[in-house]
Amino acid sequence: MSAGPGEPRAAGHAGGSAGGPGPHAPPDRPAYLLGGTAPGAAERMAALAAVFDGWTRDHLARVGLQPGWRCWEVGAGGPSVARWLASGVAPDGHVVATDVDVTWLAGITEPNVTVLRHDVTTERPPALGLDLVHARLLLVHLPDRSAALRAMAGALRPGGWLVVEDADPGLQPRSSLDPAGPADDLANRLREGFRALLAERGADLAFGRTLPRRLRELGLRDVQADAYLPLSVTACATIESATVAMLRDELVRRGVATEAEIDDHLRAVAAGQLDLAQPPLVTAWGRRPGG
């Protein structure tokens, strides 16, 4: 690791694990659709953690996370993964958590976590020779995602692991997989409108499935991947209601749904009347040769 906890080599801006460029993104980068300062963003971020953290922890443990490891949590967004990593590498290991907007990381008090604002696509890694680099729900939103992946892989020590997790809405585009009536049809129409907004802002809706190939192209070994499809998880309702509320004005403006339809949808979600799926989360992992 080229820089210790008290001597970071780079600071600036990065993408957020809750989705992508936040309110401090560079001017030539499209504004993130679900910015971290928007009403409902905190609830959405907590719900994403509730749905995906268990899956993420299983994969980070699978590559051998242990005390003494030095880790980089890229586009950390919220604090949950960085804190879990910190507990796993304690007492001698260290975690650097970076993001474009570190608002949600301000409460981290673990002594073995350093929080930095940093742009993974334009700035050098905050440390080198790392045992583990991890990013979740970040790259799909970045127009320069290939540069980000190269930077992440380049920060590994020989034998170090890169674990990357991203959604693939193209693999499963619906909100309701078992449409049984008008409420399900409306949910799917709203999800279609959300996907269109993401694509307009440069998101690659088929990116998740490319991760194994991309890791091999970077020269990583022992590459594997799998996917998690949340089909009907309690926190998915919170993600749905927060997302639709945050995008409400844009969805109405574009004619995707009326105000009344959105109200109906949010009531149905709150009443637990819908089984709401999230796009598959593809997790890919591989290690740098050597070590």
Provide the number of structural domains found in the chain: 1
| Cβ pair 168, 205 in contact under 8 A | yes
Q: Flag whether 24 is in a domain.
A: no
Q: Flag whether 50 is in a domain.
A: yes
Q: Flag whether 237 is in a domain.
A: yes
Return the structure tokens found at 159.
Answer: 């034998």
Query: Could you check whether the bond before residue 91 is cis, i.e. omega within 30 degrees of 0?
Result: yes
The rounded distance, in Å, linking the Cα atoms of 229 and 277 is 7
Q: What Å distances lie between residue 115 and 57, 100, 153, CA to CA?
A: 20, 11, 20
The rounded distance, in Å, linking the Cα atoms of 191 and 174 is 7
Length of the chain in residues, anyone? 291
Residue 8 confidence (pLDDT) above 60? no
Q: pTM (2 decimals)?
A: 0.88
Q: Flag whether 57 is in a domain.
A: yes
The rounded distance, in Å, linking the Cα atoms of 83 and 108 is 7
The rounded distance, in Å, linking the Cα atoms of 91 and 68 is 7
Q: pLDDT tens digit string along 212-256?
A: 999 999 999 999 999 999 999 999 999 999 999 999 999 999 999
The rounded distance, in Å, linking the Cα atoms of 283 and 136 is 9
Domain containing 214: what range? 41-287
Q: pLDDT tens digit string along 71-82?
A: 999 999 999 999
Name the percent of the chain lying above pLDDT 90. 79
CATH code, domain with 165: 3.40.50.150
Q: Flag whether 17 is in a domain.
A: no
Q: Flag whether 31 is in a domain.
A: no
Order of strands, sheet of 113-117, starting from the edge strand that comes earlier in the sequence: 113-117, 94-99, 70-74, 130-136, 156-167, 281-287, 221-228
Q: Flag whether 33 is in a domain.
A: no
Q: Flag whether 32 is in a domain.
A: no
Q: pLDDT tens digit string along 125-181?
A: 999 999 999 999 999 988 899 999 999 999 999 999 999 999 999 999 999 999 999
Q: What Å distances lie between residue 121 and 31, 99, 153, 195, 208, CA to CA?
A: 15, 11, 12, 24, 18
| Cβ pair 11, 118 in contact under 8 A | yes
Q: pLDDT tens digit string along 30-40?
A: 455 565 556 67
End-to-end CA distance of the chain: 14
